[in-house]
Amino acid sequence: MGSPRIDQTGLVPTYDRSTDVTGAPADAAQLPQQGTHTPAGDEADGKLTPRDPGASSGPTPLDDPVSKAVTQIQLGSPSQNASPVDAAKNLRVADAGDDLNLEVRNDAIHMVGKPVVGDGECYDLADRVLRSSGAKSAPDFGKVTKSRDQDYKWGTPVDLKDVKPGDILQFRNHEINIHTVKKITKTFPGGGSSVSKDENTVTLPRGQHTAIVLANDGDGTMSLAEQHVIDHATGKLSTTIRKNTLYTKDVPPTTTTRTRQEGDATVKEETTVTITVSGTIWAYRPQAKGT
What is the distance between the alpha carbons of residues 98 and 87, in angstroms, rounded to a whole number? 15
Non-local (6+) Cβ contacts of 179 within 8 A are 199, 200, 201, 273, 274, 275, 276
Whether the per-residue pLDDT at 85 is higher than 50: the answer is no
What is the distance between the alpha carbons of residues 291 and 262, in angstroms, rounded to a whole number? 68
Whether the per-residue pLDDT at 276 is higher than 70: the answer is yes
The CB density around residue 267, as the number of other CB atoms within 10 Å, is: 15
At 239-271, the pLDDT tens digits run: 999 998 888 999 999 999 999 999 999 999 999
Nearest to 210 by CA among 268, 152, 141, 280: 152
Split at pLDDT 50, 70, 90, the class of 66 is very low
Q: Specify the DSSP class assigned to residue 46.
A: S
pTM: 0.63
At 118-158, the pLDDT tens digits run: 999 999 999 999 999 999 999 999 999 878 889 999 999 99
Nearest to 220 by CA among 243, 245, 199, 197: 245
